[in-house]
Structure 1
């Protein structure tokens, strides 16, 4: 038998089978959320408790021994070992599990070795892993632990030259987990190879080599010619930062000027709008947190500020006398609070009492009044010297902001749709800019890209190809309310302007901290699910909102991709940091359990696309290089961002979803340092940091993304995959791997069954690494097919959803041993037995009811696939129960456990399929359930209704 049923083969030191627990389950450990998702896909019984532990997830499962093998091959761990496991080898020899030792895994692996140059200076960037990377020196400072392993990088100066200049590599830890060691160093000549060495402390202050690896250096980014270099190509249309009104007005103009290729798509959910309630804080504000302002009251208008809230006044009035009650009067927009006095003539109204009185007596002018922050409002409110006037604090006079009146009401977000064929036949690309209001450059990048498309369509062949072969949706600013607030009120505004804060945080002193982080408001890996990087504090910069998709802006994004299902690519454009990333985007901090990683084929396609996009960013005078360390899963290169838009688009809709932090660092050859950008860099052109420069170079990248989508839409050729080494004879266990000529995902089996989309998926060794090695201890036949990023299946014509009727999958056998055989035969067997008769409870006339009756079965099938069907052979009242000459009006329905939903019983010419087996089974015991509907007006004849049915177990793959 095979040592594993799906994911390769067991290692020689295979863990033993689990003895189990009293309830028939075994305890297992999974490495994280990705393995948990894979186990769920494979149908493992996971309904017996899950528990997060620091290094993964522990679970209880009901497992067959075949499933235990499968789990072990996936990389899981059995926590309660029992009986020993042995397997057969050539010539039917039975050997112990440790008789054929697998070679020790290397202690050092090189992940990446990339060379790039900018402004005449070359750089080498290296990532490498060591098996002891997480370990620290014993006895050190727990607040500043020192690595146990020292990693050293050496490089040559070209082919045939020696390694030189050892440099220490830096250990990168994230959320307590070891990621890798890395280093970026300037080099004068392009290296051909690198060498990485790991050393451990030895006796007497010496060091001991723990491992070493040598690897080839690759070029990061290609030398390309950007579209802007084409004769007559028009670009550089944006002369400065633009506020949302300017952006959307220009998009409306484009749709009118170029109706044959452009139109406006209006989103259904209006935003909060650039508007606020008028407010005032009345009374002494606290000088520090230790002296709370118990006498202070915060008031908010019922109307928006511009609709009547501005100009409301509140005055705390002290009257002469004693034993006076608290009261409120209103004259026009003036609210007067007549403070109470005690028997001695002293003021006696507390802040809580005053707040309640204002809410009750302001005649609808003020609908929210409360003590300041988290105070109970027990202090006595003093009289005011003058009336306090409420204001919404919104100003349009900030120095440097563009001119233009900002509309105050709810705002309609729009997308400019550009494409010659806007009928869903071409792959759609969504560019969504500036979820975060303070990020101004993404807005101008989107505008520049739109201008290039419509202005060059008539004259530039490359632009014409883009528009003829893609369907583009451009949202220049997805947070228009927050962007207006950033332009005119508070430049660092990140969130939208929806205020969900409770009284404790709703005073105007917090007005620059209100709003929802739109890129934390989505449904996958959200803060509500325990993922890191989002906050439930309404004043946090990462506030995720009161619920997933609570905000109209995020609802609009989901609406757009559901309305236009041809959208297959998405770019969420942010600034600044110079990263380009994708999934996984979030993790649970304890154990660093990420959202699932994309299949190897998708991740490879992301990397391929990123290199194309970023090569065009570099092809500008500033030669900006987005570096390898800033490319990949966003939780790996940036941080965990729970509930981000990219993961919602990818996992819910299958959209290739990129995130882009434009800006980044630019190399200064004078200081020999990289200079970081900012959210609102100076606009004028500069060889270093410049809003204008960033707009031009990153618009180049957006244009190349459109070409990636166009090429994806034209791709009709499947990948070519190979098993390396291919079918051969080996005398001892060996490792194999799959290779493809383009990004593609491999699905394979090793148990003789035909591969399907539910079969084992060929995976990465680690994140940012190539495919895994599959260790073959026994003669093993691999059956597989590949699916490329465009969905093309190899071999052509193979249908993984129906392997029995499709063309042949790929298959190769790796032979292990001396060629001896042992075997036996299985006769073709189809066996079906029924235990008794299905009998309904008595039907009650005049009462509407659904009756159910069941019969147990036993199924044995040695076929590659089999179908269990039920038919009514009678030509009289076919499919209905009969009582002599009478028949029930409603048809008889049937289903089987594990099969499709209830369906009407068909006749002999069209039997009803109730269950399908895609592999051999023995003693399967599905329950056949019949359902009979009786309507209130159905006429029923005294006696017994019945029908003899024919059950058939059949196969087309004996």
Structure 2
């Protein structure tokens, strides 16, 4: 419990007397402290009697008991799931219809630190409580081809905490399963839940499949240092000037806002403002922020300002001399300044000459009530530190278009748009674009792959989208992510002072028009100081409009790569979701497969440089592997322009041979490590540029393959075509493709049912066939090549074959000793057909009647689906000794009616118009010459109607009966005892006649139904007129 005590000393005194306090306490509102103690009811009462109030119950014994129970339940769940991994059901899980567990990935690779297996799966019973996963635990194990278990471990629930409530994505874990070179890839994995459900999936080699490496003579490795945007644009001009036959310089139409700022300073403090990025709290009420009307380089940096004390009893006065502004503060009789910051701001803005140079404002939301201090003259400054090699003012973004008219005009070829550095601080990304571009142009005509790429594609490269922000990051604030535009300046009480200058700018990758902050998607902000500021409106920024200009102007562009850092990701749309985690529409499953197919070659090529492994959990749609990025460029490309927008995040966590890791961050050492740096990151910036340029080559190759693809995919449907159990059908394809299928015999089209998973990252469940089905499907690849309609017939026979005996016709027949009794029978199956029909003894063979006694014979029937039915009968052989004598017998008058279990209609559903049916059985025996089976409702309470207390059903209950001789009867209302309903009539004696009694109750959709049970006791009568 938490108690309020006067002081820490009181707590220590009580502790010395035996009270069990924990070691922490906090200050209490209004004085004293709040301390927590473990107490019994008696100890609590004693403390309160001493005046120490108990203010809060923190934990009770019941809470502890609940924790114990929760712990025990978790341990039991984990044990049950682990046990299920080796159960008999697990052996069949690969072919079984899906249960509650799905296995979605089992990826194996090796890097310098060891051998790894990444396993992912899901459960349909996932649950989230209070932001934590509370569903069943999932266990995984991996096996060799011979079934030997190689290892096991628990899968972690992967949640998205960015939405409320948190969302369940899947279960997954990465396991280190060995050292480098000490083993191979497991054959398959299993994932199990505590309820015994198991899913099995073959393991797949994620990386290390022998991807393309640079051939001998390949020209590469051009970057020598991190570059400014202007350097990267100069390289574009240099290469286009040198390789005029295959390149064109691109001058983007929208100039940036510029590497420029208005000049600013803060006066009213004792010392001249020197560029600090924070203002002491004591100085904030007296601070006056001055901002030049002109850009710093256009005269703003030439301004100065000061506050002077001219002595006692002076009035507030503002004077301007040239570029110098002087505030003559008002003083009292003692010469103490009395002008407040608010008064100084008003005076400067009211002065005609000063207002031509600057605007004055209070410090953010402060009211400026404190008197200013005399401040020595200080120059206003834009506080930009870049050398003169980085001119101030707007910049024209430049890039390079690579291609030619070999084969067909360049603008008719598949286009690929590669662009870098939307985010300023990601210094390594321009190196990827520059290395890619220079490899292409310098290897044209030398390297066969490069030559094919340039001859076959239309390639666009922009090395730095965010020229202003990148320059600011390199020379002023290394953490700058956004561009430099200051939208805070429009808010007089906002962060518009020079101390806030590092927090301005728009996140360009949140300023696009699809799935944007303005559309209600999450992952961006309306705050002008947020690192994910979406801007004042969609497409407000010139850098963003430059990107959309390229995509709109060149409709042949089909693929795009947006290079970011850091973390090591390869991603694609969708990239945004709303607060309830409703994402932008997922592409068709075949398209997602195409992305995976492309990823395989791209990541393999990256891996080939130095074994950097981009992890499976970091490969996929942005919303699945990272977060929601409202208004990002990849979504703009895909949903507005039909361009496949990929994203790289270079700078994967570096895994070292000793098992440790090193995180590169945004600006790792390019070459040698600076003093005090991480030696494991030597040359990291250089190497990231090299390996992800490899990845771009693979992307370009996939685009060329797409361009040349004119072949429809081949496909097949799995699953037994003849089965005595429901069949789960999966599809296989020769390449990434969408499967569209029908099960009703109709011809499939792209509008038919798509074979796809229930949720992102899952594999599709098998198509469940529970009866005879002709499955038809088509396969459509990403290019749109469509296969011919394929068809496969499945026979699902769930019924055993039947056996009919013709001799002996009855079970339990009696024969005299020595009598010849040939066994004759037939087998039938209405579905898959009879495969075998075998008698014991064989068909036509006489039963053994040589010895008196009771014996059996049997027939085994098997159908083609594997169903088996063994029917066994008996017969009795009696002694054949003959003697004269008489025999007689008598039949007593018999009327016997035996009813089966009570009939029940089940649950009635209010609001649903329906005919409910029920049935039971009866057995009729009659020795009379005729007999009638009838039914009546003896009750006077709404006779013939079901009742529930005082309530009754509007429609009368109906009944009918059938037997082997009378099968075509109709329902009729149940009558009263005086007028019963006749069900069946017999014109001769009958023994043990099986009768089916059927009932029907019609309920209209508008009929009101009372909670509880409706029923009636009915009288069934078997009567005769000829006893």
In structure 1, stretches of 5+ residues that fail to align are 1-102, 137-141, 201-208, 398-403, 796-808, 822-958
Pairing 1:410–2:394 present: yes
Contact kept, 8 Å, 1:575 with 1:661, in 2: the verdict is yes
CA gap 1:211/1:755 in 2 versus in 1, 3 angstroms: closer
Question: Aligned to 1:567, which of 545, 557, 560?
Answer: 557
Question: Aligned to 2:198, which of 212, 217, 221?
Answer: 212
Pairing 1:469–2:456 present: yes
Corresponding residue for 1:458?
445
Question: How far is 1:344 from its partner?
Answer: 9.4
| Distance (whole Å) between structure 2 residues aligned to residue 231 and residue 187 of structure 1 | 35
Q: Deviations over 1:561-583 (max 9, x none)?
A: 10001111101101110110111
Q: Deviations over 1:65-113 (max 9, x none)?
A: xxxxxxxxxxxxxxxxxxxxxxxxxxxxxxxxxxxxxx97422221111
1:791 alignment partner, SS class:
coil
Contact kept, 8 Å, 1:134 with 1:177, in 2: the verdict is no
| Map 1:326-345 → 2, pairs under 5 A | 326-340=316-330
CA gap 1:226/1:349 in 2 versus in 1, 3 angstroms: same
| Distance (whole Å) between structure 2 residues aligned to residue 704 and residue 793 of structure 1 | 25
| Distance (whole Å) between structure 1 residues aligned to residue 426 and residue 747 of structure 2 | 51
Corresponding residue for 2:363?
372
| Distance (whole Å) between structure 2 residues aligned to residue 289 and residue 330 of structure 1 | 29
Corresponding residue for 2:594?
605
Corresponding residue for 2:262?
277
* Rg larger for: 2
Question: How far is 1:709 from its partner?
Answer: 0.8
Question: How far is 1:147 from its partner?
Answer: 4.3
Contact kept, 8 Å, 1:584 with 1:597, in 2: the verdict is yes
Question: How far is 1:820 from its partner?
Answer: 9.7
Question: Aligned to 2:300, which of 309, 316, 337?
Answer: 309
Corresponding residue for 2:479?
492
Question: Aligned to 2:466, which of 476, 479, 498?
Answer: 479
| Distance (whole Å) between structure 1 residues aligned to residue 463 and residue 154 of structure 2 | 44
Contact kept, 8 Å, 2:563 with 2:648, in 1: the verdict is yes
Pairing 1:131–2:124 present: yes
CA gap 1:301/1:289 in 2 versus in 1, 3 angstroms: closer
Question: How far is 1:696 from its partner?
Answer: 1.4
Question: How far is 1:723 from its partner?
Answer: 4.7
TM-score by length of 1: 0.66
Pairing 1:539–2:529 present: yes
Question: How far is 1:680 from its partner?
Answer: 1.0
Question: How far is 1:407 from its partner?
Answer: 1.6
| Distance (whole Å) between structure 2 residues aligned to residue 360 and residue 735 of structure 1 | 82
| Distance (whole Å) between structure 1 residues aligned to residue 764 and residue 211 of structure 2 | 32
Corresponding residue for 1:267?
252
| Distance (whole Å) between structure 1 residues aligned to residue 113 and residue 319 of structure 2 | 76
Pairing 1:174–2:160 present: yes
The number of equivalent residue pairs is 679
Question: Aligned to 2:100, which of 102, 107, 118?
Answer: 107
Pairing 1:698–2:689 present: no
CA gap 1:222/1:441 in 2 versus in 1, 3 angstroms: same
TM-score by length of 2: 0.62
Corresponding residue for 2:286?
295
| Map 1:855-866 → 2, pairs under 5 A | none
1:169 alignment partner, SS class:
strand
Contact kept, 8 Å, 1:749 with 1:784, in 2: the verdict is yes
| Distance (whole Å) between structure 2 residues aligned to residue 543 and residue 265 of structure 1 | 28
Higher mean alpha-carbon deviation, 680-689 vs 574-583, is at: 680-689
| CA-based RMSD | 3.1
Question: How far is 1:792 from its partner?
Answer: 2.1
Contact kept, 8 Å, 1:129 with 1:181, in 2: the verdict is yes
Pairing 1:631–2:624 present: no
| Distance (whole Å) between structure 1 residues aligned to residue 744 and residue 520 of structure 2 | 38
Question: How far is 1:377 from its partner?
Answer: 2.7
Question: How far is 1:126 from its partner?
Answer: 0.9
Question: How far is 1:731 from its partner?
Answer: 7.5
Pairing 1:159–2:145 present: yes
Question: Aligned to 1:653, which of 632, 635, 641?
Answer: 641
Contact kept, 8 Å, 1:617 with 1:701, in 2: the verdict is yes
Question: How far is 1:626 from its partner?
Answer: 0.9
1:649 alignment partner, SS class:
helix
Corresponding residue for 1:69?
none
| Distance (whole Å) between structure 1 residues aligned to residue 359 and residue 751 of structure 2 | 56
Question: How far is 1:213 from its partner?
Answer: 2.8
Corresponding residue for 1:929?
none
Question: How far is 1:520 from its partner?
Answer: 0.8
1:711 alignment partner, SS class:
helix
Contact kept, 8 Å, 1:335 with 1:362, in 2: the verdict is no
| Map 1:824-903 → 2, pairs under 5 A | none
Contact kept, 8 Å, 2:248 with 2:401, in 1: the verdict is yes
Corresponding residue for 2:210?
224
Contact kept, 8 Å, 2:109 with 2:117, in 1: the verdict is yes
1:505 alignment partner, SS class:
coil
| Distance (whole Å) between structure 2 residues aligned to residue 356 and residue 569 of structure 1 | 56
| Distance (whole Å) between structure 1 residues aligned to residue 109 and residue 149 of structure 2 | 19
| Map 1:38-77 → 2, pairs under 5 A | none
In structure 2, stretches of 5+ residues that fail to align are 1-95, 673-678, 800-828, 832-1027
Contact kept, 8 Å, 2:103 with 2:763, in 1: the verdict is no
Pairing 1:184–2:174 present: yes
Higher mean alpha-carbon deviation, 704-713 vs 809-818, is at: 809-818
Question: Aligned to 1:441, which of 428, 440, 464?
Answer: 428
| Map 1:906-945 → 2, pairs under 5 A | none
| Map 1:456-855 → 2, pairs under 5 A | 456-501=443-488, 502-503=491-492, 504-589=494-579, 591-620=580-609, 622-669=610-657, 671-684=658-671, 690-724=684-718, 734-748=727-741, 758-776=751-769, 785-795=778-788
1:510 alignment partner, SS class:
helix
CA gap 1:155/1:732 in 2 versus in 1, 3 angstroms: closer
CA gap 1:815/1:185 in 2 versus in 1, 3 angstroms: closer
Pairing 1:387–2:405 present: no
Question: How far is 1:679 from its partner?
Answer: 0.9
1:171 alignment partner, SS class:
strand
Question: How far is 1:379 from its partner?
Answer: 3.2
Contact kept, 8 Å, 1:482 with 1:493, in 2: the verdict is yes
Question: How far is 1:653 from its partner?
Answer: 1.0
Question: How far is 1:813 from its partner?
Answer: 6.8
Contact kept, 8 Å, 1:358 with 1:366, in 2: the verdict is no
Contact kept, 8 Å, 1:752 with 1:783, in 2: the verdict is yes
Contact kept, 8 Å, 1:717 with 1:792, in 2: the verdict is yes
Q: Which has the higher contact order (CA 8 A, sep 6+)?
A: 1
Contact kept, 8 Å, 2:485 with 2:506, in 1: the verdict is yes
Contact kept, 8 Å, 1:498 with 1:516, in 2: the verdict is yes
Question: How far is 1:733 from its partner?
Answer: 5.9
2:373 alignment partner, SS class:
coil
